[in-house]
Amino acid sequence: MSDNLQAIEALSYEQRKFSPPPTFVQSAHVSDMSLYDEAAADHEGFWARQARELLDWSVPFTQVCEWDLPYSEWFADGKLNVSFNCLDRHVLAGRGDKVAFYWEGEPGDSRVVTYSDLLDEVQKFANVLKSLGVAKGDRVNIYLPMIPEAAVAMLACARIGAAHSVVFGGFSSQALADRINDAEAKVLITADGGWRRGEVFPLKNQADDAVKLTTTIEHVVVVKRGNNDIAMQSGRDHWYHELMAKADDVCVAEPMDAEQLLFLLYTSGTTGKPKGIMHTTGGYLTHVTYTFKYVFDHHPETDIFWCTADVGWITGHSYIVYGPLANGATQVMYEGVPNFPANDRMWSIIEKYKATIFYTAPTAIRTFMKWGTQEPAKHDLSSLRLIGSVGEPINPEAWMWYQENIGGGKCPIIDTWWQTETGGIMISPLPGVTVTKPGSATFPVPGVGAELVDEEGNHVSKGGGYLTLTKPWPGMLRGIWGDQKRYRETYWSRFAGRYFAGDGAKLDDDGYLWLLGRVDDVMNVSGHRISTTEVESALVSHPSVAEAAVVGANDAMTGQAIIAYVTLRGGLEVNEQVLREHVATEIGSIAKPKAIYFTPDLPKTRSGKIMRRLLRDVAEGRNLGDTSTLADVSVVSELQRRAAETPSED
Ligand code: WTA
């Protein structure tokens, strides 16, 4: 192994272990290793069984996986309809009155949507789309707040074989226009506005500005939610409720080829242009239905599932819309922010709907830590039986806080690693069988092959390395829309025959995987490779620190220097030198930050990811480019002011 990789050391001080609670194991879908054994013995046979057992096929498949590296096809001669699998089959089985969504609006209004309701709406809206000229193979853009119509729109596209491209409602008009243009979408579905932090944000105005920059949009459908004043362009813009009132009730679900494009979802890469990640029908639905059932240990009769993601991200696609609905789940969907009207909103929602499974992001968990344990303590969270995390490495302190204060010490935690590109969960505990360690995503789920490699692509069985995926899986991306060269270069060129995820990870002595973040977030200081996550984790383990972001800034002397941005827990104060020494104690003096800036907030994307690249720009005194994806621009100008004023430690 190369020197660089040998230097990836992280989190090795974490020794705690948690076995699944016996009461959980008793009713768990998986409580022994048989699923792992079956998948290891026959990879394709295992996935074929999942596809046959979990889904309804209009034409059964005989082919399982056609693998022409790096292109895969799954179940290619089979036919099925995704919206039939998510809706009709539950209603036909007599479960039409089951609640699909308990929807909670930010201002406190609410709606209950059953499977029958959802099926009715989806059929009508599929007919609306057809009446607007949308046909199989077309692309439809969706730019909506977190309202049930987002799921309706997605499922209506799936019903008629149009591909959706959902753009997060917090993206700017320019970002929306870029995505519409790349996908050449015909129709845009948006809303007048949505509620956020006690105010209506004017989505339609953004949509109008975006459409001006595009040539392909023929119709805009507008859901009434904000009741804010908007302009409607005659002939182009239509109210959702008016079209729905005139639409036919029945739209039969047409069987689609398993490899029919289901959706595009744009994600940022290392270059400026976002990549349209392509997902198809049969394989994707198999992967998300399987992982939803087994990773979340979902029991449709008793569970109330709540995933806090926005439908604009892959987590919302896979674990609000497709995975849960294919499993006939009852869910909570929430429109707004976690601190409206107060810091306990999430916990009041869990109490109100008696949610049993809660799935959120580490950055949210650390924010909840910052707000204090008195907030969850105000509510009865005893309905919860499983809690999950996704999106970033979760540091052991946040993991423990989550377990104690949200999980009441009795809920297993599933730390789930996956990506927009993987479609569904890849590495995660199975909660009825896996012994967890705080901060480790543990092992690949049955049916997934993951391995670490060094710089040269040699298999690493212990210590640090690059995370690669070794076998095709049904939910894998089928490519990048319009740019298959970029697909091959981004994911398949670095290590021969392997999908390179872009993440660094470490295998400990027991074979547990510890995700260390994107490898472009790994710093190289005086020839030593140190993960930003590792230093962040050390900082956050100090009792006064709520949240930390670490970047490697160019440094003439050491190659890179470690710069830390730290948010303190309410009311606490600590000296910079104390924190530097704390990091030295936790990891070694090589990891001591050169400078620590204290800040009341960290700059985050609207999806909650810390914008490390932007922090690196601030640390290196560069002018900032486009900050349109940033949640709160004022955070950055304040940091820039301080960086200019504060002399850094040597
Ligand atoms: C990171 C989100 C550590 C990782 C589903 C990955 C994680 C990127 C985890 C994908 C986790 C996601 N532990 N890191 N449990 N989950 N990541 O496409 O760096 O928005 O490559 O998909 O998030 O982000 P994306």
Q: Tell me the β-bridge partners of 595.
A: 563
Is residue 226 within 8 Å of 190, Cβ to Cβ? no
Is 80 exceeded by the pLDDT of residue 393? yes
Minimum CA distance residue for ligand 1 atom 3: 393
Higher pLDDT, 586 or 556: 586
**319 pLDDT higher than 50:** yes
Cα of 38 vs its chain's centroid, Å: 28
pLDDT at 285 over 50: yes
Give residue 175's pLDDT: 79
The larger pLDDT score, comparing residue 4 to residue 425, is at 425
Q: How confident is the model at residue 1 (pLDDT cuts 50, 70, 90)?
A: very low
Q: Is 280 left (phi over 0), alpha (psi -120 to 50) or beta?
A: beta
Domains along the sequence of the chain with CATH: 542-643 (3.30.300.30)
pLDDT band at 173 (very low <50, low <70, confident <90, very high): confident
Q: How far apart are CA 241 and CA 227, in angstroms?
A: 13
- Which among 157-161, 460-464, 523-527, 634-638 has the top mean pLDDT? 157-161
Q: Which pair of tokens denotes residue 241?
A: 């409720």
More confident residue, 502 or 60: 60
pLDDT recorded at residue 610? 82
pLDDT at residue 646 in the model: 55
Q: How far is the CA of 244 from the centre of ligand 1 (A)?
A: 38
pLDDT in tens, 57-97: 999 999 999 999 999 999 999 999 999 999 999 999 999 99
> What spacing in Å lies between the alpha carbon of 527 and ligand 1's midpoint?
27
74-88, 145-159, 284-298, 499-513: range with lowest mean pLDDT = 499-513
- Predicted pLDDT at 625: 59
How many Å apart are CA 604 and CA 610, to the nearest integer?
Answer: 4
Pick the more confident residue, 33 or 614. 33
Determine what percent of the chain is predicted with pLDDT higher than 90. Answer: 76
Query: Cα–Cα distance between 142 and 126 in angstroms, integer?
Result: 14
Decide whether any atom of ligand 1 lies within 6 Å of the 268 Cβ.
no
| Distance from Cα 390 to the centre of ligand 1, integer Å | 7
Atom of ligand 1 nearest to the CA of 515: 3
Q: Is the CB of 419 under 6 A from ligand 1?
A: yes
Say if ligand 1 is within 6 A of residue 441 CB.
yes
Is 503's C-beta closer than 6 angstroms to any atom of ligand 1?
yes
Which alpha helices (DSSP H) does 33-79 contain, by range? 34-41, 43-54
Determine how many CB atoms are found less than 10 A away from the CB of residue 502: 19
Give percent above pLDDT 70 in the chain: 92
Confidence label for 5 from pLDDT (cuts 50, 70 and 90):
very low
In this structure, the residue with its CA closest to atom 8 of ligand 1 is: 419
pLDDT tens by residue, 396-421: 999 999 999 999 999 999 999 999 99
DSSP per residue, 39-52: HHH-HHHHHHHHHH
Mean pLDDT score of the chain: 91
Q: How confident is the model at residue 648 (pLDDT cuts 50, 70, 90)?
A: very low
pLDDT tens sequence across 292-303: 999 999 999 999
| The dihedral formed by the CA atoms of 140, 145, 146 and 150, expressed in degrees to the nearest 10 | -20
514 CB near ligand 1 (under 6 Å):
no
Quote the Cα angle for 630-633-639, to 5°.
110
- Under the banding of pLDDT at 50, 70 and 90, the label for residue 6 is very low
- 362 pLDDT above the threshold of 90: no
Average pLDDT over residues 343-369: 95
The span from the CA of 518 to the CA of 528, in Å, is 17
Work out the average pLDDT over 211-218: 97
Residue range 456-477: average pLDDT? 96
Distance 424 CA to ligand 1 centre (A): 11
- Say yes or no: CB of residue 414 within 6 Å of ligand 1: no
- Is pLDDT at 157 greater than 50 in this prediction? yes
- CB 141 less than 6 A from any atom of ligand 1: no
Residue nearest to atom 13 of ligand 1 (CA): 393
Q: How much is the average pLDDT of 320-332?
A: 98
Sign of the torsion formed by the C-alpha atoms of 342, 346, 347 and 353:
positive
Note the pLDDT of residue 8: 40
The pLDDT, as a whole number, for residue 463 is 92
pLDDT at 526: 64
What is the dihedral angle through the alpha carbons of 27, 29, 34, 36, rounded to the nearest 10 degrees?
Answer: -130
> Is the pLDDT assigned to residue 631 strictly greater than 70?
no
Question: Looking at the predicted structure, is the pLDDT value of residue 2 above 80?
Answer: no
> How many helices (H) and strands (E) would you count in the chain?
23, 31
Ligand 1 contacts CB of residue 502 (under 6 A): yes
